[in-house]
Chain A
Amino acid sequence: MKRYVRESPIFLGLTGFLKRVKRYIPGGVSGKVLPFFFMSPFFILISVMWFAPVGITTYMAFTKTQWTITNMQFIGLDNFVRIFTRDIRVVDTIYITVLYVSSVLAINAFFSLVLAIFTTYFIKKEPISMAIRLAWLIPRITPAVIYALLWRWFIDPNIGLLNTLLGSLGLPTPRDWLLTPPYSQILMIAVNGYVGASFGMIIYSAAITSIPRDIFHAAIADGATDLQVCRHIILPLLKWPIFFVTSWQCLSLISSYEHILALWAGGAGVARAAEVEVWALYAYSKAFYASEYGYGAALSIFLVAIGLIFIFIFFRVFGFERMMQPSKVEV
């Protein structure tokens, strides 16, 4: 430290003050207070960015907050009455959300299992399976906007590749993938499925690699086919990882909308017209496009509740240990 800083009155005053404070803390700073000194920035950040928002969302759900977010008027249950009785979008949105979550979950939890078994059990050469796994990671590490742009090219009827490929297979080639409903929903499922597939794949792969090879060799020596090894050895051992990935992905899918928002760009209307507006996106667009913050909060309260319920279940079913090491296999 520079000498003029060290001897400046402000610095001397500050250190003197700290020394004086130290004297009044029982056990000194190094005693019971020190852990909280280390933890306090963490707790402050967590309170401002997690606890306060949960509280504010809950309160805001019972208010009419429109145009300016700082101006809340308490209106009781009015927002919820509106959701259940007057809002015509709700039924459609629930349908789209269920379709979205269940279809993408099938890819994220089960297709990823196929990917993991194929890359770890069938392909014996580690560099090849690692290259394939890394290729499957591309959609996840690509920023959402770039990913959306890439899909925009891929589905473009004039210069994109999708319709050319489909045409050569004799399948229908819609002009506008983004806005024609059944196709737009297929697109939504594919776009999000690619992003989520790698999560399950990595967890399962780690679990399968931790199974002792001897078990496989013994089974093969006894005349088991590869299919039987998968069915009777790998799947039973992967019970917990499968359950973990399914429930974890279910929660994150219910609340995710970033990729839908990025691909169906251009305000609230586009995603709605394409029938890809999931519940979380509906809450978002009510708040940030229509400026009905209170109503948006009321819609997202359901998601907060679902999140809390899921976390409760996580702790009950998995316990703390299994949640931190989902890929541990008990042989």
Chain B
Amino acid sequence: MASKKSGYRAAIRKAKLMNLLKYVIVYSVLLIPLVPILSMIAWLIVQSFSEGPTSGLIPRGFTFENFRFLWHPIRFGLSEYPNIWPIVGNSLILAVGTVAFEIPVAALAGYALSRMKFPGRVATMKLIVALHAFPGVILLIALFYILNRLGLYGKGILTLIGVALVKAGLGVPMDTWILKGFFDGIPWELEWAAMVDGCSRFQTWRKILLPIITPGISAVAIFSFMGGWGEFLLAYTYIKRREFYPISVFLYSVIGEFVFVDWGLLAAVALFYMIPILVFYALTQKTLLKLQLVGAVKG
């Protein structure tokens, strides 16, 4: 009897040990590969407040000196920028432009796809899915030709707007799809009531439906703003004059042109550039995971 009892105990102990082992494996597979990523983020923050290059993750002193670019001219190697704010402005134009082109188009089309019967409706929805799967980046050469033909290449601010237009064009199928989903969720009765009261279809859309899906529209708008703010490839390819560089291309040119020594300044600019994204990331975690699911961000 006693031996049987101790046998149970041993079995329980073994089961507990196996359970512990299981969780050790699970957590190490999940977390050890994250060490590089998390250390990089930690470094970015530490380095931007450190006086010299960090050794590993240990800062050298504490200073705000790296952030002097916010009110002083920036000097990297041989090139000097009088002021960071025009560059920030360029990034803003790009991001706001993307939203401005993308959201109205997507909201109109999403409504029509959700609510109206017209020949080719199903075909259009299939087309949207196909476009979402098709990798737009391989069309960059032809898009360059189109920008040239539209007279938007090498025209300073107009080029920025052209890049925003391209960015919006590449993003519009998915946004339309997401907004269609939001329109699908609104009951028909609301629209009938509005139309019985004498609204036209356009007025119904503008005055009744849009206010209802404001949360959806703002989620999509924030996503496309972030897309424009973080955009690198299109801006790098099409914008050749330094005055019109957005922050991403500016940083890239600094990394590429010189063997940079001023890690502190570089990290500070990068952290500054990341602020909107970090705020957005902190505020919209759940939506982020959900919108990732429908593929708001391309894999």
Contact = CB atoms under 8 A, between A and B. Distances in A.
Interface stretch (B2-10, B65-73, B77-85, B101-109): B101-109
B38 A135 contact: yes
Interface string B109-148: 1011100111001001111011101111111111111101
Interface in B132-173: 133-146, 148-149, 165-166, 168-170, 172-173
A243 interface: no
A11 interface: no
Interface in A220-258: 226, 245, 248-249, 251-252, 254-258
A303 B30 CA distance: 34
B143 A49 contact: yes
A144 B39 CA distance: 17
B29 interface: yes
A284 B255 contact: no
A25 interface: no
Nearest to B249: A145
Interface in A9-59: 30, 32, 34-39, 41-42, 45-46, 48-50, 52-57
Contacts of B137: 255-258, 280
A183 interface: no
Contacts of A311: 130, 133-134
A139 B226 CA distance: 14
A38 B204 CA distance: 13
B37 A194 contact: yes
B268 to A, nearest CB: 12
A145 B170 CA distance: 20
A38 B232 contact: no
Contacts of B131: 46, 50
B232 A135 contact: no
A266 B82 CA distance: 24
A45 B40 contact: no
Interface string A278-315: 00100110011000010011001001100110110011
Nearest to B52: A159
A161 B35 CA distance: 10
Contact of B201 (A34, A151, A255): A34
Contact of B289 (A149, A202, A252, A265): A202
18 contacts: A35-B118, A38-B109, A41-B108, A45-B105, A53-B146, A143-B277, A144-B232, A146-B273, A159-B53, A161-B43, A194-B33, A194-B37, A200-B299, A265-B255, A283-B138, A288-B144, A307-B133, A307-B135
Interface of A: 30, 32, 34-39, 41-42, 45-46, 48-50, 52-57, 60, 69-70, 108, 114-115, 118-119, 122-123, 130, 132-146, 148-154, 158-159, 161-162, 164-165, 194, 196, 198-200, 202-203, 206, 226, 245, 248-249, 251-252, 254-258, 261-262, 265-267, 280, 283-284, 287-288, 293, 296-297, 300, 303-304, 307-308, 310-311, 314-315, 320, 323-324, 327
